[in-house]
Amino acid sequence: MKTIILPGYSPHNKDWAEEIKNQMKLGHEIIVHSWKHWVEGSFSLKYELEKIQEEIGDEKVNILAKSVGTRVAMALLKDNHEQVEKLILCGIPGVPRIEIPRFNLYKNSINLLPARKVLVIQNEKDPFGNFEKVKKFIGKVNKDIQVISKPRSDHNYPYSVDFKKFFIN
């Protein structure tokens, strides 16, 4: 078993991911995925998916995804859902403007897992998608998925205790 953290797009998300990794202590390997564009070039979904697959290998994996990492997690689930034990999505971005293809990506990917293995945490007033809009969106994807509101008005998700609790239960 492994856990992989798929951070947000901005380079400062690496610090967030490393901090969460250090706080969770799950008793197995926790990998912080580093996006290639943090060092060089531009974002390539194909490259990132190949790199993530190398990192997780054939083992069962928990996924903790924030912001753009949630979209990458959806693409990963399409071909690797049988490897995924549990999935946490936080800071889902762009929710009132999500177009049909992206909605279908979330719906088709998330529903490859039982709803009890998926948790969504969204800050009440996240500037990239507030809780009410994300709750409504996820309700359309799968009404049985738990969506938790946190009382923050930013895009920071320092909830290692909640993440750990979900992964170990």
CA pair distance 165, 169, nearest whole angstrom:
6
Return mean pLDDT, the chain: 94
Query: Tens digit of pLDDT for each residue in 78-121?
Result: 989 999 999 999 999 987 566 777 788 899 999 999 999 999 99
CA pair distance 25, 168, nearest whole angstrom:
10
Mean pLDDT of 118-137: 95
- What's the pLDDT at 133? 92
Tell me the CA distances in angstroms from 146 to 2, 117, 142, one per residue in order: 23, 9, 9
Helix, strand or coil for residue 12?
coil
Which residues have CB under 8 Å from 115's CB, separation 6+? Answer: 142, 144, 145, 146
8-state DSSP, 34: P
CA pair distance 55, 21, nearest whole angstrom:
15
Pick the range with the lowest mean pLDDT from 104-108, 156-160, 163-167: 104-108
- What sign for the dihedral angle of Cα 76, 152, 27, 9? positive
Around Cβ 14, how many Cβ atoms within 10 Å? 17
Residue that has been written with the tokens 């709803």 in this structure: 115
Query: Tens digit of pLDDT for each residue in 57-70?
Result: 999 999 999 999 99
- What's the pLDDT at 75? 94
Judge whether residue 1 has pLDDT over 90. yes
- The burial of 13, by beta-carbon neighbours within 10 Å (0-12 exposed, 13-18 middle, 19 or more buried), is given as buried
CA pair distance 93, 66, nearest whole angstrom:
9
**Can you list the domains of the chain with their CATH numbers?**
2-168 (3.40.50.1820)
Percent share of the chain, pLDDT over 90: 89
